[in-house]
């Protein structure tokens, strides 16, 4: 549980950092487009079309993946509100809205003593809480 939570938290910080460095439009998205359990990737949306275009490493800028995280089959990652894509702006804010990502053991729910929650503030700050706790 902790490994999965820290992995996604690290990827969110990385997304924010790259967005600040590149002037925005850095995206973290669920690999399959809907389910965070399928893994996720981080890329620069160079043309701002809210989609990852074909990777051409010979072009600068390009939309190749910066970081890819494999599926985590033993956990369930649930965003609230439901979102499969987050875009960081040039200040590192992830979508400008509050978001919670709850990580639970497969077959369990947020009330499990092992469940953890990542709370993302509108400004981009990330806090880790127990799965059953509300985000402030």
Alpha-carbon gap, residue 80 to 53, rounded angstroms: 27
Range list of β-strands (E), the chain: 26-30, 40-44, 65-69, 75-80, 85-88, 99-105, 116-120, 126-130
pLDDT for residue 128 is more than 90: yes
pLDDT for residue 16 is more than 90: yes
Mean pLDDT for the stretch of residues 65-79: 93
SS3 assignment, position 119: strand
Alpha-carbon gap, residue 119 to 58, rounded angstroms: 37
Structure tokens of 93? Answer: 């804010």
Per-domain residue ranges of the chain: 2-50+60-130
pTM for the model = 0.90
Q: What is the pLDDT of residues 17-50, one digit of tens each?
A: 999 999 999 999 999 988 899 999 999 999 988 8
Q: What pLDDT shows up at residue 52?
A: 92
CATH superfamily name and code, 2-50+60-130: minor pseudopilin epsh domain (3.55.40.10)
Q: Is the dihedral of CA 14, 97, 41, 27 positive or negative?
A: negative
Q: What pLDDT shows up at residue 73?
A: 86
| Under 8 Å between Cβ of 51 and 85 | no
| Under 8 Å between Cβ of 74 and 105 | yes
pLDDT for residue 116 is more than 90: yes
Q: What pLDDT shows up at residue 78?
A: 92
Cβ neighbours of 32 (radius 10 Å):
13
């Amino acid at each position: 549980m902790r490994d999965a939570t820290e992995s996604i938290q690290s990827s969110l910080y990385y997304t924010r950092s790259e967005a600040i460095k590149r002037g925005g439009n850095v995206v973290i998205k669920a690999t399959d487009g809907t389910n965070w359990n399928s893994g996720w990737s981080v890329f620069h949306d160079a043309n701002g079309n809210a989609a990852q275009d074909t990777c051409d490493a010979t072009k600068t800028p390009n939309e190749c993946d910066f970081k890819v995280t494999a599926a985590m089959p033993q956990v369930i990652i649930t965003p609230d509100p439901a979102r499969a894509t987050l875009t960081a702006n040039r200040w590192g804010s992830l979508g400008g809205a509050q978001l919670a990502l709850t990580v639970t053991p497969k077959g369990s729910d947020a009330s499990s003593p092992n469940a953890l929650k990542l709370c993302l503030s509108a400004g981009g700050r990330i806090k880790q809480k127990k799965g059953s706790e509300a985000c402030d």
